[in-house]
Amino acid sequence: MSVAVDDDLWSAIGDPMRRRLVDLLLIEGESTATTLSDHLPVTRQAVAKHLGVLDRVGLVQGTTVGRERRYRVDPVQLGRAVAQLAAVEASWDGRLRRIKEIAEAIERRTRQSNS
């Protein structure tokens, strides 16, 4: 199965702080930038900017409730990210298997020619 990799999504997830925010949202279920910043060594404004990036790629969804903006992970987009990662893993597993086969063949030929 070939899955197209969403570079914008993976660029957003590539940041360690954003991955931490996704982890916290998966634990909390739903939260605000203020509440999330209590768990992190960055300001609420920095958290809000990171959440904005995650929101733009669809990994989190922000909803305004009164004066607050509450965020939660979008399970569909998270599922897409997991499928993409699995596809990349499978692709690299195949490549690494092929490299191993080539290296083993070279080693066998080297041993045979040295015998």
User: Could you tell me the domains of the chain?
Assistant: 7-114 (1.10.10.10)
Rounded CA-CA distance 6/9 in Å is 5
Instruction: Tell me the β-bridge partners of 73.
Output: 60
Instruction: Give pLDDT tens digits along the chain (115 positions).
Output: 456 678 888 899 999 999 999 999 999 999 999 999 999 999 999 999 999 999 999 999 999 999 999 999 999 999 988 888 888 888 888 888 899 999 999 999 998 988 7
Instruction: Tell me the β-bridge partners of 71.
Output: 31, 62
Those residues with Cβ within 8 angstroms of residue 22's Cβ, 6 or more apart along the chain or in another chain: 13, 54, 59, 60, 73, 78
Q: Which pLDDT value is given to residue 75?
A: 95
Q: Which residue has the tokens 């998270």?
A: 78
What is the reported pTM? 0.75
Per the CB < 8 A criterion, the answer to whether 71 and 25 are in contact is: yes
Q: Which pLDDT value is given to residue 91?
A: 84
